[in-house]
Amino acid sequence: MIQADSLTKRYGDKLAVDGLTFTVEPGIVTGFLGPNGAGKSTTMRMILGLDTPTSGTVTVNGKPFAEHLRPLAEVGALLEARAVHTGRSARNHLLAMAATAGIGVKRVDEVIGMVGLADVAGRRAGAFSLGMGQRLGIASALLADPQTLILDEPVNGLDPDGVRWIRNLLKGLAEEGRTVFLSSHLMSEMAVTADHVILVGQGRLLRDQSMADFIAEASSDVVRVRSPQAGQLADLLLASGVTVRNIAEQTLEVEGLTSDQIGVTAAGASITLLELSTQTASLEDAYMALTEDSIDYRSTLENTKDAA
């Protein structure tokens, strides 16, 4: 479990993290979302004791990270996949880490196999592709079989097979009762991996809730209806005082009734329905709606579009 209480970090005049309070629970995958510059990396660094909070506290499994006797067994972290000695082979990099923590050679070979690097374990890490470097970074995080994982952009550079692999790995670790905390800008992947969302913008907490509730809040009550008798159905629905928009030939958007109510109305009038679907927001829609005012970096093209 990770617990942050009024966590704050200031760099001179820049307030990078502004009073964050949240808990990352074991047994689920928690996604850490926010625009560039929102304070995600700084928060992760403070969790790991790499940056000192200006004020507030953060603990991992009940203690500040630095106070754990076997820190690698408590937390496995991937903040920068390229933070390896480029002249060492992947296996030697892991062996050097293992030697500092009293971890046996068997475990090194085990994690090499887990991340799919067995065939290239003898190659220099400096020659690895971005995706291979990510796999080595994940192997480093898993080396001591930790109870908590903190991963910053773990799918960056992975091919589709690798993305599916890391998704299943993280879900499996969470099902074992471990704490899994990861950041990513790939909304489509986060939507199917994370069970819970912590969203920050300009260093402040914007949301801390389940993924399902987060998306549901951004979803509208609009029902899309397609029917060869769209005009007749529209007249029936308008008579009940709801909002009906004819958005295309044979296609309506209805506000004020559920899909079940519309279906019953259509059935009562023997109207054929080709589509009846409630319009649900995506994670990207929900994210963009909440972070629109928290983006620090905008292109001139975006600014021009906003002005228009």
Query: What integer pLDDT is reported at residue 305 of this predicted model?
Result: 46
Instruction: Render each residue's pLDDT in the chain as its tens digit; 308 residues.
Output: 999 999 999 999 999 999 999 999 999 999 999 988 899 999 999 999 999 999 999 999 999 999 999 999 999 999 987 778 889 999 999 999 999 889 999 999 999 999 999 999 999 998 998 889 999 999 999 999 999 999 998 888 888 888 999 999 999 999 999 999 999 888 888 889 999 999 999 999 999 999 988 888 776 678 899 999 999 999 999 988 888 988 888 999 898 888 899 999 999 999 999 999 887 767 887 778 777 765 554 555 555 444 44
Query: What integer pLDDT is reported at residue 208 of this predicted model?
Result: 95
Query: What integer pLDDT is reported at residue 308 of this predicted model?
Result: 46
Please answer whether residues 95 and 139 qualify as being in contact, where contact means their C-beta atoms are separated by less than 8 angstroms. Answer: no
CA dist 132 and 128 (Å) reads: 6
Please answer whether residues 233 and 269 qualify as being in contact, where contact means their C-beta atoms are separated by less than 8 angstroms. Answer: yes
| pTM, entire model | 0.80
SS3 breakdown of the chain: % helix, strand, coil, rounded to 5?
A: 40, 25, 35
Residue at 261: amino acid letter? Q
Backbone phi and psi for residue 123, each to the nearest 5 degrees, phi listed first:
-85, 150
Query: What integer pLDDT is reported at residue 307 of this predicted model?
Result: 46
Residue limits of CATH 3.30.70 in the chain: 221-280
Query: What integer pLDDT is reported at residue 220 of this predicted model?
Result: 65
Tokens of 58: 């953060």
Query: What integer pLDDT is reported at residue 290 of this predicted model?
Result: 76
Looking at the domain 2-217, which fold is it? Rossmann fold (3.40.50)
CA dist 295 and 288 (Å) reads: 10
CA dist 234 and 215 (Å) reads: 29
Query: What integer pLDDT is reported at residue 55 of this predicted model?
Result: 97
Helices 90-101 and 130-142: crossing angle in degrees, nearest 10, is 20
CATH of domain 221-280: 3.30.70
Please answer whether residues 296 and 40 qualify as being in contact, where contact means their C-beta atoms are separated by less than 8 angstroms. Answer: no
The DSSP code for 70 is S
Residues forming beta bridges with residue 250, ordered by sequence position: none
Per-residue burial over 54-84, b if 16 or more Cβ lie within 10 Å, else e, is eebebebbeeebeebeebbbbbbbbbebeeb
CA dist 129 and 127 (Å) reads: 7
CA dist 287 and 207 (Å) reads: 10
